[in-house]
Amino acid sequence: MTLPPSAILNPYTTLYTPIDPDETQLIILCTWLGAGKRTIPKYIALHQQITPRTPVLLIESSVWTVTPHYSTQRARTRPAVTVLQRTLSSAASQNVSPKILVHTSSNGGSNSATQLLLEFQSTTGKPLPIQGIVCDSAPAAGGYWKSYHSVMTSLPKNSLVASIAGPVLAHAVPGWMYLNAALGRYPIFEDLIRDTLLSSEYVTTRKSSADTGDGKKLKIAYIWSKKDELIEWRDIVEHAAQAERLEWEVRSEEFLESAHCNHLKVDGERYLKIVKDAWEREV
């Protein structure tokens, strides 16, 4: 597959810009912990297929992106915030509503989106106007052993170093994060994610109801499976229920045969339709 030209903004952030871009639109693609370099292009290609002229802002995650203090994580998103500001400025200059879709995978990707939303609000004093959110295998409520297995899964396969140091690192990461939360240095990782993604302080509709008078709702789609061994599917269902209570338009899609972040591979046609609907359908 041929990807559009890219600009590396930092080691974890890359902007893919088509030849003839619509600069009033943006896909924010936040991938899961340790997502493979051969896998990520499939998700970029998915969005290219749906909306060929829309730039894709890729934010990758790893063990090293989720363990620093939140202030450090937020600082790392500043190049992405600049891209968001440029998109909003382009839309304003053309007198159109910006169109921005957030697509997250697992808690690693959801954390990337969370830190970006926090930094955007801190920088601009405003929530980010979005078309909607797609949550693939997320957001989980977490737990020590779920976090342990997520770290183990993200490490390189067939690596002697990973096999020896992996269990130590997999214990150290959640241990460090929960210790800092217990000491009050920052909120619990999973709680921050689950709260921020649905908070009107950090996200809003492309045009507020006050602007349009049409009572537009924010949209969120959840893609999940009971065969997912890294997260508890009930956590996602519970988050969907919370979104409904907050008057989001919710789509909850259970995949029967796919494991964690493997839904696109197992049923690409269905996955494509869910993401396409999130992008195209107005509420």
Report the C-alpha gap between 26 and 13 in whole angstroms. 14
Whether residue 40 is contained in a domain is answered as yes
In a domain, 160, yes or no: no
pLDDT attached to residue 66: 82
CATH number at residue 60: 3.40.50.1820
Q: What is the pLDDT of residue 184?
A: 63
Q: Which helix (DSSP H) or strand (DSSP E) does residue 194 occupy?
A: helix 189-196
187 domain-assigned: no
Q: Has residue 186 been placed in a domain?
A: no
Instruction: Look at residue 6 in the predicted model and tell me its pLDDT.
Output: 93
What does DSSP assign to residue 137? S
User: Within a domain: residue 116?
Assistant: yes
The mean pLDDT values, 10 residues at a time, for the chain of 283 residues are 88 97 98 91 98 98 84 96 98 96 96 98 98 97 60 59 58 60 69 96 76 68 95 95 97 96 97 98 71
Q: Is residue 127 part of a domain?
A: yes
Task: Give residues with Cβ within 8 angstroms of 233, minimum separation 6.
Answer: 224, 225, 226, 254
- Check: pTM over 0.85? Answer yes or no: yes
Enclosing domain of residue 82: 6-141+194-280
Q: Cβ distance 12 to 76 under 8 Å?
A: yes
Q: Encode pLDDT of 88-109 as tens digits.
A: 999 999 999 999 999 999 999 9
- Give me the torsion for CA of 75, 76, 77, 79, rounded to 10°: 100
Cis peptide before 139 (omega within 30 of 0): yes
Among all chains, which residue has been given the structure tokens 């490490």?
155
Separation between Cα atoms, residue 56 and residue 20, nearest integer Å? 13
In the chain, how many domains are there? 1
Q: How far apart (Å, rounded) are the C-alpha atoms in residues 44 and 261?
A: 15
> pLDDT digit string (tens) for 212-230?
444 578 999 999 999 998 8
184 part of a folded domain:
no
Q: What is the pLDDT of residue 148?
A: 56
The closest of 12, 53, 51, 189 to 110, measured between CA atoms, is 189
Strand order across the 13-16 sheet: 6-10, 13-16, 56-61, 25-33, 99-105, 132-136, 219-224, 249-254
Q: Is residue 151 part of a domain?
A: no
